[in-house]
Copies of this chain bind each other. A is one copy, B any other.
Amino acid sequence: MPKPASPASASRLPAAALGSLVRPRIRVLHGADVALGPGKVALLAAIAERGCLTAAAESLGMSYMRAWRLVQTMNTCFREPLVASRRGGKQHGGASLTGTGRRVLALYRQMEQASVEAIAPAWDELRAYLG
């Protein structure tokens, strides 16, 4: 939470407009690495959708180099790569999820969904305390 507090007048108005919500952000740590988190998973989903690392990075406002590094970290953390890249030829720069990548993405989404459902009762009570 590196965001500084905004003055009361600025924070009150959007609160009324935007309402309150709870968001579980799930991180998978593997040794010293973050193997999966919201950013990496968004990248996996974008690669699955676009079939190209450059386009996937662009769709997330991420530099190609950063996207490439995230993919390297994921591929290193898992027994089998999550993303397969093709270089050269007609499919120049293509990237796609491997079978493991698709399964890992689905399992992460399952964890997100299960988490959202599980926290609902306490969240219903907590939100009543919000201004």
Contacts and interface: CB of A to CB of B under 8 A. Distances in A.
A84 interface: no
A29 B25 contact: no
Contacts of A27: 22-25
A126 B114 contact: no
Question: Chain A: interface residue count, which band?
Answer: 35 or more
A1 B77 contact: no
B1 A15 contact: no
A39 interface: yes
Interface in A31-59: 31-35, 37-40
Contacts of A123: 107, 111
Nearest to A21: B29
B32 A6 contact: yes
A5 B103 contact: no
Contacts of A3: 33-34
Interface of A: 1, 3-6, 8, 10-35, 37-40, 69-70, 72-73, 76-80, 100, 103-104, 107-108, 110-111, 114-115, 117-119, 121-123, 125-126, 129-131
11 contacts: A11-B33, A12-B31, A17-B31, A18-B29, A20-B30, A26-B119, A79-B129, A104-B129, A108-B122, A115-B118, A118-B118
